[in-house]
Chains A and B, each alone.
Chain A
Amino acid sequence: MAYFLQQLINGLALGSIYGLIAIGYTMVYGIVGMINFAHGDIFMVGAFIALIAFLALMALGVTMIPLALLLVLIIAMVLTAAWGWTVERIAYRPLRDSFRLAPLITAIGMSIVLQNFIQVAQGARVKPLQPVITGGYEFFKDGEFTVIISNIQILIVVTTLVLMTAFWLIISRTALGRAQRACEQDRLMASLSGVDVDRTISLTFVMGAALAAVAGLLYLLYYGVIDFYIGFIVGIKAFTAAVFGGIGSIPGAMLGGLVIGLIETFWSAYFTIEYKDVAAFSMLAIVLIFFPTGLLGRPEVEKV
């Protein structure tokens, strides 16, 4: 029981990170109808920017951890958003009216570019960071086994909840969110009613990238080690989460992220850790094949 509870907590923390990345996939798919394959690598770039920003602040003498982390968060969000904007501008916008698979192919190309750019610029070795946030609470004691909620896990879940709410409010209450939903339904009609479609799509990528940067920072703090390749697997899992929750739906992405995080954690805890990625990939295949609309998604109507 205690073991189960501990895994549940671990799974929720991991799932929150997946959920944050999944929002980027789901918003972009909703509005442009393409899988932003490079989004996982945007997350990776975000994690690297966060790492370097943190080290730079430490070197500059900002040793107050909460202040440093807040600054890192802002820097990472802004710079990663710039990366997201650039990727959209270079690789997707020129192909918006091309055949359906074209943007997916440039997305794969972009993913390769980002991975190898970071590998060339920062080296192929893993980058470890000493634990920044330590400590935790004893939550529950069952014989020998103590269930612990660590501070970092609390930070992850709280940050995710706050950002989720903020973005959900942006989408549902602001003019930008209205424009996004309009573009999602009918891009041509939206542009006729005065919505700047290009700008709205760009901002969608910017928002997705900013959330991915937060996920990158949290991942860095949680695991304490990153490398240039993390974006691939994490990206696939987050995409699975987005599909599972129902692509296009933001609460769905969060829900899907939690489910995927829990599945992965429990699989590693109770079955084999070697096959945990197989579990995630099989999950992806099963979800896409049998529940393509996901938990909270709308069925896609095929139009001629």
Chain B
Amino acid sequence: MVEPGTSFGQRLKSALADSLLAGVIAFALFSLVLGLRTEDNVTGLTLQPRPMLLAVAVGIVFFGRLLLNLFVWQAEYPLTTPFAKLFTRDPFDRRDSLVLAATAALGVLAFIGSAVFDVPAFELIAIALLAFVGLGLLRRLIVHVFPDMPYAHIFVVGGIVFAVLFPLTAYALDKMLNLGLPLRYWFDLSILVLTYVMLGWGLNIVVGLAGLLDLGYVAFYAVGAYTFALLATHFGLGFWMCLPIAGLAAATWGVLLGFPVLRLRGDYLAIVTLAFGEIIRIVLLNWTEVTNGPNGISGIPKPTFFGLPFSPFAEGTTFSQFFGLKYDALHGIIFLYYVILVLALITNLVTLRLRRLPIGRAWEAMREDEIACRSLGINTTITKLTAFATGALFGGLAGCFFATRQGFISPESFTFIESAIILAIVVLGGMGSQLGVAIAAVVMVGGFEALRHTEGLQSFFGEGFDPALYRMLLFGIAMVGIMVWRPRGLISSRTPTVALNDARAASPDLVGQGRA
């Protein structure tokens, strides 16, 4: 923000100087690694210059920074204000509405442009702009209709109702009206999202509540998955039998790994958990006699519905025979959806209840100040261990579910990147906030899936463009960006469940969301 009364000329001058510097730096950074591409050749590596790409990248940095300087950082009224207000209850004023209207107009223009000039990329921009406008309008509607109800409640109730009704309604509608919807794909995607919601909630206990940064969470996920896979393939045990065993096995590992690292402070602990996660993965990869190494374990059975399998034929009665339905592969998938939904909700419920118990309060107190906690006679060793074990338990349950859903597991699925994704979901959602984590999981996993299916980008960047490649890049950028922009997460809740009334008076809306 600049001094009021600075003339536009002065602002333009300083903005230009700053953007030029950024452009020069960007040129230095990108000149070799982006401007020249190494290509394999018969004679060895050769270089292929890409001046256009370099120019575009530097141009994006220069103009992006110029626009940000002029309209956000140095502007009296930052154009991003309506964006920031999306997450609060502050009323929109006239300027916000103007921005919203302008965005809507731009969106419509882009839409028309995409139709007229046949550029699918415009369509994408249009959808993004209009989605933003839609969110803004929805927000105003909510503020109008429920002036006193916290957002969180609306989201929670709406989300759970939607999650419960969605598959059955979609299935029934599709069957009755013969719509031919891509239900299989929708359900698979929802199951994936719910798995990440559950993992996020599980890790949230460790990171969000207890404040222990665990970079090896995927190890427990792997332990759960491998426990079930090995028990099922060697001893023929079923999913329901193995689910608690897998959870307990993971929790045991949580205690085993947690015990030695408890003396460590924040970032050392993070690195050691990362090391443990990698050790478990490397052992799974190399201990071929038991885990079948990189080839993984296949033929993992699906869960049954109270003993009724979801298959066209079986030795006993199948699900469809018992209920007199025509066999449909979707039945099994819908069932899986409900299994993970229930598992996730159990995770959430247990967390919410634990937060009210002494142990949960000890976790939150430890997160806020470990030394003060010890001084007050809280046994931090036990407190940390329970957090580790509880988090690991849910990781193990999720892993068991993952194994049964995939039917095949290999160490490939349990890399550090997976831990980083789960951590990012927790961080971006706002550490400690259950609702935030759920929304972050939906946005991240769903958003990436959407990216995978955009032909629009392909036409924009050329044939060889593979959006999946950019997934992790965007993911990292989002992680850094959101952390810098809102260190407490998009929907933040670092406020303890119990706090003094004075603290409450200081930030009533945060406490309100903390109860979500």
Asked if residues A95 and B487 are in contact (CB atoms below 8 Å), the reply is yes
Q: Which residue of B lies closest to A99 (CB)?
A: B487
A52-B38, A55-B45, A284-B272 known; 14 new pairs, CB 8 Å cut-off, are: A35-B270, A52-B36, A82-B25, A100-B266, A104-B266, A105-B427, A112-B420, A112-B472, A116-B469, A117-B33, A121-B37, A125-B40, A277-B278, A288-B271
Q: Which residue of A lies closest to B262 (CB)?
A: A289
Q: How far is the CA of A279 from the CA of B159 in the complex (A)?
A: 46
Given contact pairs A95-B484, A125-B40, A35 touches B271 in the complex (Cβ within 8 A):
yes
A183 adjacent to chain B (CB < 8 Å): no
Per CB-CB distance, the 3 closest pairs between chain A and chain B, nearest first, are A109-B479, A112-B476, A113-B476
Q: Which residue of A lies closest to B278 (CB)?
A: A281
Given contact pairs A51-B38, A128-B45, A277-B282, A109 touches B33 in the complex (Cβ within 8 A):
no
Given contact pairs A55-B38, A292-B264, A110 touches B476 in the complex (Cβ within 8 A):
yes
Q: Which residue of A lies closest to B43 (CB)?
A: A130
Asked if residues B484 and A239 are in contact (CB atoms below 8 Å), the reply is no
Q: Which of B392-436 contact A (CB under 8 A)?
A: 416-417, 420, 423-424, 427
A186 adjacent to chain B (CB < 8 Å): no
Identify the stretch in A83-91, A152-160, A172-180 within 8 Å (CB) of chain B at 4 or more residues: A83-91
B371 adjacent to chain A (CB < 8 Å): yes
Q: Which of A18-54 contact B (CB under 8 A)?
A: 34-35, 45, 48-49, 51-53
A193 adjacent to chain B (CB < 8 Å): no
Please give the number of chain B residues whose Cβ is less than 8 angstroms from any Cβ of chain A in the complex: 57
B164 adjacent to chain A (CB < 8 Å): no
A-B contact pairs, 27 of them (CB 8 A): A34-B267, A49-B32, A56-B32, A59-B47, A79-B31, A86-B29, A90-B484, A95-B487, A99-B487, A101-B211, A101-B267, A111-B476, A112-B420, A115-B472, A116-B473, A121-B33, A121-B34, A123-B38, A129-B44, A236-B278, A278-B279, A284-B275, A285-B261, A285-B272, A288-B268, A289-B272, A292-B263
Q: Which residue of B lies closest to A247 (CB)?
A: B268
Q: Which of B443-486 contact A (CB under 8 A)?
A: 469-470, 472-473, 475-480, 483-484
Q: How far is the CA of A125 from the CA of B40 in the complex (A)?
A: 9
B276 adjacent to chain A (CB < 8 Å): yes
B260 adjacent to chain A (CB < 8 Å): yes
| B421 CB, nearest partner CB in chain A, Å | 9
A304 adjacent to chain B (CB < 8 Å): yes
Q: Is the interface of B mostly helix, strand, loop or mixed?
A: helix
Other-chain contact of B479, A105, A128, A285 (Cβ < 8 Å): A105
Please give the number of chain A residues whose Cβ is less than 8 angstroms from any Cβ of chain B in the complex: 67
B213 adjacent to chain A (CB < 8 Å): yes
A contact residues around B416 at 8 Å (CB): 232
Q: How far is the CA of A122 from the CA of B416 in the complex (A)?
A: 22
Asked if residues A281 and B266 are in contact (CB atoms below 8 Å), the reply is no
B286 adjacent to chain A (CB < 8 Å): yes
Q: Which of A64-102 contact B (CB under 8 A)?
A: 75, 79, 82-83, 86, 90-91, 94-95, 98-102
A contact residues around B211 at 8 Å (CB): 101
A162 adjacent to chain B (CB < 8 Å): no
A275 adjacent to chain B (CB < 8 Å): yes
Asked if residues A109 and B38 are in contact (CB atoms below 8 Å), the reply is no
Q: Which of B366-398 contact A (CB under 8 A)?
A: 371
A 271-304 to B, binary, CB cutoff 8 A, 1 in contact else 0: 0101101100110110011001000000000101
B137 adjacent to chain A (CB < 8 Å): no
B contact residues around A49 at 8 Å (CB): 32-33
| A85 CB, nearest partner CB in chain B, Å | 8
Q: How far is the CA of A26 from the CA of B137 in the complex (A)?
A: 51
Asked if residues B479 and A112 are in contact (CB atoms below 8 Å), the reply is yes
B28 adjacent to chain A (CB < 8 Å): yes
Given contact pairs A79-B28, A285-B272, A101 touches B279 in the complex (Cβ within 8 A):
no
B154 adjacent to chain A (CB < 8 Å): no
B46 adjacent to chain A (CB < 8 Å): yes
Asked if residues B275 and A236 are in contact (CB atoms below 8 Å), the reply is yes
